[in-house]
Structure formats: C-alpha cells, structure tokens
Amino acid sequence: MPVVADRVRRAPSGLRGRRPGDLDWPELPPAAGDALDENPWAWAAHEPAEGERLDVSRFDVTAVLVCFDAARWLPATLEGLAALDVRPRRVVAIDNGSADTTRALLEQARADGVIDAVYAGKRRHGFGQAVTSALRQDRMARTGSTDTGTSTQTVLRALRDAPGADGRDGHDGRTGQDRDGRDGHDGEVPDDRSGDWARDRRWLWLLHDDAVPAPDTLYRLLAHVATDRAIDVTGPKLLLPRRRQSSHQLSEVGVTISGTGRRELLIDRGEIDQGQRDVPAERLGVSTCGMLVRTSVWRDLDGFDPAVPVFRDGVEFGWRAHLNGYRVVTTPDAEMTHRQVGRAGLRPRGLGGRHPGALDRLLGMTVVAGHAPGRALPLVWVRLVLSCLLLAVGYLLGKAPGRSRDELAALWTFVVHPGRLRALRRRTASIDPAPGTAEVVRTLRPPWWSSLRIAAETLGGALSERYASVAGEVDAASIDELTTDEFSSVADEGTRHPWLRPGVVLFAVAVVAALVAARGLVGLGSLVAPALLPAYGSVGALWSAVWHPIAGAPGEVSPPWLAVTAVGSTITLGQPEWFTTLLLCGVVPLALLAVYPVTLRLVVDKRLRLWCAGTYALLPVLLGGTNQGRLTLSVFSVGLPLLVMAVRALVLRRVRSFEAWRGGWGAGVVLVVLSAFQPAVMLLALVLGAAGAVALRRTPRKIGRIGIALGLPLVVWLPWWPTLILAPGRLLVGPDAALDGAGAAPGVLGLLLGRGLGAGLPPLWLGATVLGMVWATAVFGLLRRPTSRVVLSAWATAVASLALAVLASRLVVDVPPLGTEVRPWVGALLLVTFAALLLAGAVGSDGLSGDVAGRSFSWVQPAAVLAGVAVTVVALGGAVWWVWAGARGPVDRERLDLLPTYVSVAMASDAAPRVLALDLDGGRVGFSVLSGRQGAPRQGDADRGFAFGGSQAAQADVTDAVSRLVAGSADADVAQRLRRLGVGYVVARGVDDEERARIGNTPGLGTASGTGGTVVWQLDPAVSRATVVPADPASTEPDVPVTRAPAAVPPGTGERHLLVGEAADPRWRAELGGSTLPRVVDGWQEGFVVPASGGTVDWRLTSPASWLLPFQGAALLIALVLAAPGIRRPDVRDPALSARRAATLSEVST
C-alpha cells in the first residue's frame, strides 16, 4: 500500500464549524503535570543502538478498557495489562451493564493497582460511546467538572492538577514512566513549540476485554510514534488465540473495506505469523482493539461515530482521519492476542447477539454508503443491494442458510430503516477533505473489481477441485518408500503436470476420436434416425411443446423427457440441435468424463482404472445408441456414474456429517433424469432400494436417504402419473416409442451379448468379443472377491437389470396417446447390466498385479500378463472400430427445408393449414401430417400424437384418405375429408408420372406443381384449419374459413358451429364477448356453437397440469441445491462458529 509523504496539515474540519466557546472537550482526562522542556523531542531524535530501548516515559497515555459480560476472558486481559513493561499513565475501565462477575473482577483489579478507576456504562452503548462515557466520567471524578477550557492558562492548570503535580514522587521504577513533574519550567508559560509537544504527547489507548497484550505492546506502539511523529493513529498486529501444538495465526494487521462493504484484511486465510507482515504500512483503518490515537485527533474527529457502534468502527474512524489529513499506520511489531468474542456471538446480550453477521454486514454497507459522494450514492446503493441479493442466493446455493439469512436481514434493515445511514452521512457531509486525501483513500481501498476477483478465485478453486477429482491425483510415496535406503520412484513413474495425467490424456484422446467418428454427421440440417425425430428449431418452440397440453388426451401431459431436453437445450445457448448433437456425437467423451471419478474412488490399479473407464465409455456405441439416435442411451451413459457416486455417498457418508443427506438428494436428482427417459429404471431402483434398506436397517437415517432418492422422482413427475395409470406400458418404453413399432423379440443369448437391438450395431464378432470379455472379467472378479460388498452389489444390479430387460423384450405394449403397439427397446437396461458387470470385474480384479508380483515365478505371471494384454487389445479393438466405422447410419443429418417456400409460408399464416406429406420412394407408402410453424415432425411429437394429438379417429381418417388418394380412386369424398382434417396441401416425394396422374385425378385437388421428385397439390378452394359450418347438415350455406384464435366470425342467417380443427377434448374453452360458448363435437374435432350475430371468438385448451410445471422446476431446483456441494470453508460457511471455536477451544498464549 502507498505511504503518503509530506501530507498537508491544516485546521481540523471538525473544529472549523464550531463557535469559540464550543472548543471544549470534556471527555478527555487532564494532562499529566510534567514540566515542559525547551526541546521536548530531543530524546526522540536520538537513534538508539541495536538492542537499546527508546525512552518513552514522556508520553501521557490514557488506556480505556471497555467490558461487557466478560468474566470468562477478562482475567487473561487483566493479567496481560499487569505484565506490561511500559504502563499507561492512567488505566480506566467501563462496564456496560454486565450480568456476570465482570464488575467484581474490575474492582478487584483496581484494588490490586492494575487499573485506576472503574465506571458504569449502558448495555446498549457501542464501543465508541463507552469510551466517550468513560473519559467523561473520569474527568468528572477527578476534577468535578467537565469544562477544560482551551487557553494556555487552562492547559497549565490542567497540567498542575494532573498526577504528580502534588509533589509526590510519581516515578514508577517498574514501568519507567516519570510521574514527579519536576523536570523544569515550574509555572512558566510554554512557547508554541512546547504547546505542540503538550498536544502531541497525549495519546489514548483503546482496549477490548477479550484481547491480551504482549508485555511490550505499548512500548512498541509508543516507540513507533516516537520515531515517526507523522503518525496519528496506529494499531498493533492482532493474532488469533494459539491452539496447542500450533503457531499463532494472523487475525488483522490493518483493515480496509470494499465497494460492497466486505471487510478486507489484506492477509491470507489461516496465514501463520512468521514475521512476514512486520513492516509498518499505511492502511485505511486499524482495529479498535489496541488502537493508539492522538488525543487531539480523537477530539477533532469527535471520536467514533455512534452510527457504527461495533465491528466497522475502526475503519470508519480511519476513513474520516484520512480525509482530515491524518495518517493511519500499522505497528506490526506490537502484538495482541484477540479472541474476537463479539464476532463469535459469545455476547448474546450485546449489540451483535448470537448472530453478529447481519449487523456486521449492515454496518459495512452503511460505512460505504455513508462515505459515498452524493452524486454516486444511487449507484453505490444499488450495488450494495444487488451484492446482498447475490450473496444471499450464493450462500443459499452453498447450503449456508445462516449466512443467507444474515444478508437478507442486513438488506432489509439497510433499505427499510435508513436512519443510521442518514446520521452517518450528516457527519461525513461536514468534512472538507484536505488536498489529496480523497486520492489517498482511493488507493487504500480495494479496486471496484475486487469482488469479481474474489468470485472468480472462488469459482476457480471449485473448478480446480472438480478437475482434480476427474483427472485424479498423483500417487504419493508411501511410508515404506520414504524409509528405505533408496528414494521413491513414484516421481519418476508418473507426471505431476496437471494436463498430462492419465485421465486427462484419455479424455483428450476420446474427444479427438469422437470428432473423427462423427465426421459423417458434420454439416447443416438436423440429426434424424429411425428412433430420432428432428430437434426443434428454437428452445422457445420446445418449451411451448412442453407447456401445452395434448389435445384429445385429457389425462395425459407432455412426456417428462421433453422437459429435460428443454433444460439441456437452454444450457446449450438455446439450441436444441446442439444439445442433440452433443448427446449423440459426444457420448463417448461425456461418459468417460462422468465415469472416471468413479473409478478413481473404487479402483486403485491405474491400468485397470483406465481399462474400466474406457470400456464403459464405448458401451453406448457398442449397443447402437449413436447410430440409432437413442438419446436414452446417451443420457444413461452420463447419468449412471453420477448415480453410483451418489449412492456411494448415500451409504458411506457419516450420519451426522456436514453433507450427510447430499447422497440421497443427488441420487434422487439423477433418478429424475433417468426415469424421464426410461421409466423402467424406477422399477429397478425400487427393487434395489428395498434391498439396500434391509441391509442398512440399523441406520435409520440412511434408510431415510434411500426414501429421498426414490421419492423425489415420484414427486417431480407427479403430473405424469395419470398417463402411466391409463397406459402402464409407457413404463417400459423411452422417448417417441411409437417410432419403434412392434418387431420381433430378440433372443435371450443375443441380449447377453448386446445383440437384437436394431440396426447400427457393430459386427457380431466384435460385439461378442468385447462384451464377452466384460462377462469374463466380472465372473473373475466375483470368484476372486466373493465377499466384497461392491462386487456383490454390482452383480445384483446386473442380474436385476438383465432380468427386467429380458422380460420387457418379450412384451408388446400400447403407448399413449394413440395406443400404438410397440415392443420396448431395452438398450438402456442392457447398458446398466454391462456397466454393473464392468464395475464388478474392475473392483474384483483390483490388486491382482500386486498379488501376482509377490508370488514366486510360475505360470501364473505369464498367464496374468497375457490376460491383461488380451483385455487391453479387445478394448482397443472396439475403440478402433468405432473411430474407423464412424456414425455409419441409420442416423444421418438431413435438411428439413424440403417444402416449397410458399407452402411453408401458408402453414405459418393465420389460416394455419396442415400439409399431407407422402413418401412413395422405393415402392412403399409413407405419410405424415405436418402442422404448425415447424414444418416437420419434431422431437416429442410421437409422444404427443403428432398433428392430431390423442384423436384416434382423426388418425384413422388420414389413413383412409391416403389409401384412397394413392390408389387413384377419384373419390370426391377424399378432398372433403382432407378439408375437414385441415389439410390444405398434399406434397408427394418420389412419385413417378403414373402415381402423379393417379393422385391428380382426385376431385378437389388443384393443378400439380413442382419438379424433380417432389410434387405439390393445393386443395381448391383454399383451406383454413378453423371453419364455421352450418349447424344444420341439410343447410346449403357454405362453409366460412376463419383464422386462428382469436378469430372474427361474420354474421350468419342462423346458428352455426365453429370447428377449430383440433381433437375433441372437454378442456377446450371458447368465449364470445365475455360469454362462454357451448361445446359441440363434430366427428373427431372440437367445435363451439356460434350465434348468428357472429363476433370475435377466442378459444384455448387449458389444463391445470401445465401450471404444475413451475412447481416441478422449483422442486427439482431445490433438490439440486441440496445435492450440490456446500461451502466447506468454516470461516465462510459460519464465521461466528469459526470465531467461537477459536475463542473457546484455544489456548491463549501470553
């Protein structure tokens, strides 16, 4: 920090506004009666030799000890005062209404001569008010008057009335203080120079009742101000109480304050005192504990401000001192041990109470706002408020609710009760800063970005810890290695470079390999596959699909996996396609990143750890997940290791530990995500959870964690329960299951080797070899460690998931909302099986190399080496196939702008016609109805019933219309049926001339247009999805097309029906002029009765389940907060508790 030289001294601003008769300072005691030398500072000009002590006897020091409920620690303080080698001229104590034996201890100390007087204060007084009261009472007790005057004669009278002026020998041989008052100039009027000396020799020393000074503390403070006469305020180095068998930690060596009110101590957390801070430095302020201040400065600044009664009073006083042209410098040679009882909350009756954090935060903000320039005050105020809110949220996320409560309490008081701030600003407004002092204060305060720097450092520390857990720590040398004759070779075998650790290198290789493997999927367009519909074009459209109910399916809601995809797409900068690409193309490195921390904690052998992590990361591609576009497999690949970590913490974490319940909440959050994509995992979790509860029956709290893990998914997905009740088969299938169809059931033997899951699988020989090796390793691990809990648990999970996979693959279930028959795809369950087998094999084989090396040489060693080589070669073979073959299909990236521009514009218009898309390529007939602004079916549409929701009748009408249209029946009813379905265009791809002619013969279709393989027909006249039709079927009144809601319905001749072109559903509501219209169902679609007068009609589909989505998100967010790591630093999590431990569980070294 900069040291200010040649500072301009001027008349104190605190005195310039006073009247001449108001210059009295009644609170100060009278000066001592020493005679005035002609050159009183000649002794200080002498430079002492090394080891020689300065003569500080001419200083007149009055010490003020403020006490409150201090019987527990006051004896140590009094012992420290009694042991001082240089004592103050006078020591006065004030008791602020203690309820314990503090007053009795003080009286006994006075009787013993440790202190000179004891006075009574008020309980609600702050430290500064107590000091002022003590000085005033001491003046009254000694002189009978508080009027000191300011003339020379008054000064002389005060000097003569001081101790030692009565002619008694006041020299204390033990302390070295001169009290005889016979060193010259008896009764003479001193000159100006002597008047300055009389002013400069008087000092106040402020003491806390929980601080123990070293024997030479006062001497070193006085010696410092004697050698540097420019110092006006100084303070000692404060140390924390020393624990047994440890050194002192620094508590404070000067203090400053940030722009957000944070106390800056300019020392490192837990810094040991080794003399590194023993250089005096200018600071914005020093602690009031041990502060030594010139009495003239105290008088000019009017003491401490009552608006800042505790905690920040020292820095506020120093700030005003700097503005008035005074210097505040630390004296680190002087030491005091400070218990910090106030910050520890050990004064429950005091101003801070048991939770002093709120008051400390409030006073910090008050000091910053109180000293802010008037023009900058609004911005400073807003910054303080925002910092409070952000810190409250941050502490809440860090699971430090006490700190969050303190921030909010301080914010409430700061905003609602600004009286304290106004009082401080009135005082600071009277200050006319000396030239250059504002710049000095600015340099002594942290820069405006210091809060951002601390936040960045905190985030960097958290990320580095996470990186260390993912990358793995370097093996350390053992005790045996350190005690042998040769140095450990660990440093030679491994690297300590953080970016060259095995896990990091393996991850980097996986990223490069994934980029190479996905070379065929690079380009524009959307990823599509037999099990993957294109992603939405925007995250807003995706969230809209999550929010809106499914028409024609009153008891059903959007699938949960769609909401999880929306959250993930929001994280990937609002790009659903990016999220889909990341899951499919980056599944191998993502799975490796998730599983490696698990292997670090469960597998010791480095080579076995790498094999286990690498083989697990390859499982999604070996099971066809990428090639088939299975989002479920990608999510499970990343989620399963996280679930294992959470379950491990659930079981192993101590019951009453700081983060005891994190494992339960973490497992619940992972199960929420996994069950959204594959609900069958909940069946598996319930079975395994029940078995775990039986195993942990002696620790009920751990059973409670299991209950949280299993109950959270059931609570979060509560709105989805009616869907599962109406269609239980939905439990066994994943996203957009209607795309799979009901194919042949795979063989059991094929499932054991990951076969029978569809197209895109590796060659049989490769899949059988890699997955067969996994089986062999798992069996070996079970045989080697048949009693290991981890191995047995892994085998139980593998058997249960495999049994569920075999059972599900034998079933054909109906999936909502159209009741489509499908056979469940069991790839996710097989992934659980092989992952559990990998874990069993790795844990069971761990330590094998050490066992083999310790045996005498035989066939075992070569066999073990060959087995290791074989396992490694097989895993590498799978990786090579993945990179070489790449994403070879059926997944592909296709452009979705296949519709002519005018058709896309028509679909997005207010008429909102649908498009019937026909695919006649290859001799087969495929069709889909396109609806809305997306122009193509999107992810989740299969689970939402595509264009017609849950209306099976509409789906049947479309199927019938397509069959007659392609057959060329020339039936006039086809166009009318398409019109009632809201279809305005027919687009056919892959048609030849004959097929084009057959379709074109259909009455009601316009002239065909288009070239190449795509032909478009528009229905004539133009179609609008919503239509007004006569209520009487026999009426000849024409249909009137209207726009999307709200629609203007023209007047008619009688009652009519507004058909909205959506599936009938009792949740539809329509209003006309504030009145609800009666519902009517016309075939498959919803309608409303419209009066002949017409008007503007607004209709909407409402569902209470949609409004539960915010509560679901809030529940999941709370669970994430409870599952996330909390603030572990005790001094940040609960500073009062840390200070309390330091104050009560430590040995005070005197």
Q: How large is the C-alpha radius of gyration of the chain?
A: 42
Rounded to whole angstroms, the Cα distance separating 943 from 816 reads 7
Using CA atoms of 158, 160, 164, 169 in order, give the dihedral in degrees to the nearest 10: 170
Task: Name the band, by pLDDT with cuts 50, 70 and 90, for residue 460.
Answer: low
Task: Name the band, by pLDDT with cuts 50, 70 and 90, for residue 471.
Answer: low
Task: Name the band, by pLDDT with cuts 50, 70 and 90, for residue 701.
Answer: confident
Query: Under a CB-based contact definition with an 8 Å cutoff, are residues 837 and 846 in contact?
Result: no
Q: Where are the beta strands (DSSP E) in 754-830?
A: 813-815, 820-822
pLDDT of residue 277: 85
What mean pLDDT do residues 1004-1015 have? 81
Contacts of 950 (CB under 8 A, 6+ apart): 550, 551, 552, 553, 556, 816, 817, 818, 1063, 1065
Rounded to whole angstroms, the Cα distance separating 587 from 573 reads 19
Helix and strand totals (H; E) in the chain = 43, 28
Rounded to whole angstroms, the Cα distance separating 517 from 511 reads 10
pLDDT of residue 529: 93
Q: Is the predicted pLDDT of residue 494 greater than 70, yes or no?
A: no
3-class secondary structure, 1042: strand
DSSP H helices in 324-418: 357-370, 377-397, 401-416
Rounded to whole angstroms, the Cα distance separating 611 from 1077 reads 67
Q: Is the predicted pLDDT of residue 1112 greater than 70, yes or no?
A: yes
pLDDT tens column, 507-555 = 999 999 999 999 989 888 899 999 999 999 999 999 999 999 999 999 8
Contacts of 533 (CB under 8 A, 6+ apart): 736, 739, 937, 938, 939, 940, 941, 942
pLDDT of residue 185: 31
pLDDT tens column, 174-214 = 333 333 333 333 333 233 334 454 557 899 999 999 899 99
Domains of the chain, earliest start first:
13-38+57-354+436-444 (3.90.550.10), 592-884 (no CATH), 897-1018 (no CATH), 1026-1101 (2.60.40)
Rounded to whole angstroms, the Cα distance separating 762 from 753 reads 11
pTM: 0.79
3-class secondary structure, 1014: strand
What mean pLDDT do residues 568-575 have? 94
Question: What distances in angstroms separate CA 335 from CA 57, 218, 277, 340, 422, one per listed residue?
Answer: 20, 9, 12, 15, 36
What mean pLDDT do residues 666-686 have? 95
Q: H/E/C letters for each residue in 720-749? A: HHHHHHHCHHHHHCCCCHHHCCCCCCCCHH
Q: H/E/C letters for each residue in 853-866? A: HCCCCCCHHHHHHH
pLDDT tens column, 218-244 = 999 999 999 988 999 999 999 988 876
The dihedrals phi and psi of 917, each to the nearest 5 degrees, come to -100, 125
Task: Name the band, by pLDDT with cuts 50, 70 and 90, for residue 1021.
Answer: confident
Contacts of 861 (CB under 8 A, 6+ apart): 852, 853, 855
Rounded to whole angstroms, the Cα distance separating 1141 from 1135 reads 10
Give the rounded percent of residues in the chain with a pLDDT score beyond 90.
56
Q: Is the predicted pLDDT of residue 767 greater than 80, yes or no?
A: yes
3-class secondary structure, 467: helix
Element of type H or E holding 98: none
Q: Which of the two residues, 450 and 1003, has the higher pLDDT score?
A: 1003
pLDDT of residue 397: 83
pLDDT of residue 199: 54
What mean pLDDT do residues 35-51 have? 48
pLDDT of residue 29: 44
Cis peptide before 1021, with omega less than 30 degrees from 0? yes
What mean pLDDT do residues 657-681 have? 90
The dihedrals phi and psi of 525, each to the nearest 5 degrees, come to 105, -165
Rounded to whole angstroms, the Cα distance separating 365 from 413 reads 11
Q: DSSP character for 172?
A: B
pLDDT of residue 195: 46
Query: Under a CB-based contact definition with an 8 Å cutoff, are residues 685 and 710 in contact?
Result: yes
Q: Name which of 191, 399, 409, 210 is nearest 1125 in CA terms.
A: 399
3-class secondary structure, 831: helix
**Which amino acid belongs to residue 591?**
A
pLDDT of residue 50: 54
pLDDT of residue 497: 64
Q: Rounded mean pLDDT of the chain?
A: 84
pLDDT of residue 1144: 67
Q: Name which of 37, 34, 48 is nearest 177 in CA terms.
A: 34
User: Which long-range contacts link 499-503 to residues 24+ away (Cβ below 8 Å)?
Assistant: 501/471, 501/472, 501/474, 502/472, 502/606, 502/609, 502/610, 503/470, 503/471, 503/472, 503/596, 503/600, 503/610, 503/613
User: Which long-range contacts link 694-698 to residues 24+ away (Cβ below 8 Å)?
Assistant: 696/651
Task: Name the band, by pLDDT with cuts 50, 70 and 90, for residue 245.
Answer: low
Pairing of strands 914-919, 983-989: parallel
Q: Name which of 813, 738, 723 is nearest 530 in CA terms.
A: 738
Rounded to whole angstroms, the Cα distance separating 779 from 216 reads 74
Write out the two tokens for 67: 């006490």
3-class secondary structure, 234: strand
3-class secondary structure, 1096: strand
The distance from CA 150 to its chain's CA centroid, rounded to whole angstroms, is 60
First-to-final CA distance of the chain: 30
Rounded to whole angstroms, the Cα distance separating 531 from 939 reads 10
Rounded to whole angstroms, the Cα distance separating 491 from 476 reads 8
Rounded to whole angstroms, the Cα distance separating 118 from 123 reads 15
DSSP H helices in 37-101: 42-45, 74-82
Task: Name the band, by pLDDT with cuts 50, 70 and 90, for residue 272.
Answer: confident
Contacts of 654 (CB under 8 A, 6+ apart): 660
3-class secondary structure, 429: helix
Cis peptide before 435, with omega less than 30 degrees from 0? no
Rounded to whole angstroms, the Cα distance separating 410 from 355 reads 12
What mean pLDDT do residues 729-737 have? 93
Write out the two tokens for 953: 């009748």
Q: Is the predicted pLDDT of residue 16 greater than 50, yes or no?
A: no
Length of the chain: 1150
3-class secondary structure, 119: strand
pLDDT tens column, 586-637 = 999 999 999 999 999 999 999 999 999 999 999 999 999 999 999 999 999 9
What mean pLDDT do residues 1128-1150 have? 62
pLDDT tens column, 883-939 = 998 887 799 998 887 788 889 899 989 999 999 999 888 778 889 999 887 778 999
**Which amino acid belongs to residue 950?**
G
What mean pLDDT do residues 104-127 have? 92
Question: What distances in angstroms separate CA 140 from CA 135, 322, 792, one per listed residue?
Answer: 9, 31, 84
Q: Is the predicted pLDDT of residue 475 greater than 50, yes or no?
A: no
Write out the two tokens for 1131: 């001094």
The dihedrals phi and psi of 212, each to the nearest 5 degrees, come to -115, 115
Q: Is the predicted pLDDT of residue 273 greater than 60, yes or no?
A: yes
The distance from CA 447 to its chain's CA centroid, rounded to whole angstroms, is 25
Rounded to whole angstroms, the Cα distance separating 545 from 458 reads 38
Write out the two tokens for 124: 């609600």
Which residue do the tokens 């990186």 mark?
Answer: 467
Q: Where are the beta strands (DSSP E) in 22-83?
A: 60-67
CB neighbourhood size of 685 (10 A): 23
Write out the two tokens for 276: 């590194």
What mean pLDDT do residues 843-862 have? 78
Give the rounded percent of residues in the chain with a pLDDT score beyond 70.
84
Q: Name which of 1076, 1023, 1080 is nearest 1057 in CA terms.
A: 1080
DSSP H helices in 201-333: 217-227, 295-300, 313-323
pLDDT of residue 153: 37
Query: Under a CB-based contact definition with an 8 Å cutoff, are residues 706 and 663 in contact?
Result: no
CB neighbourhood size of 375 (10 A): 7
Rounded to whole angstroms, the Cα distance separating 644 from 1096 reads 58
Pairing of strands 263-264, 820-822: unpaired
Question: What distances in angstroms separate CA 554 from CA 156, 462, 916, 1101, one per listed residue?
Answer: 98, 47, 26, 10
Rounded to whole angstroms, the Cα distance separating 336 from 80 reads 9
pLDDT of residue 491: 36
pLDDT tens column, 150-180 = 333 333 333 334 443 333 333 333 333 333 3
pLDDT of residue 888: 77
Task: Name the band, by pLDDT with cuts 50, 70 and 90, for residue 436.
Answer: confident
Query: Under a CB-based contact definition with an 8 Å cutoff, are residues 451 and 260 in contact?
Result: yes
pLDDT of residue 737: 94
The dihedrals phi and psi of 303, each to the nearest 5 degrees, come to 70, -160
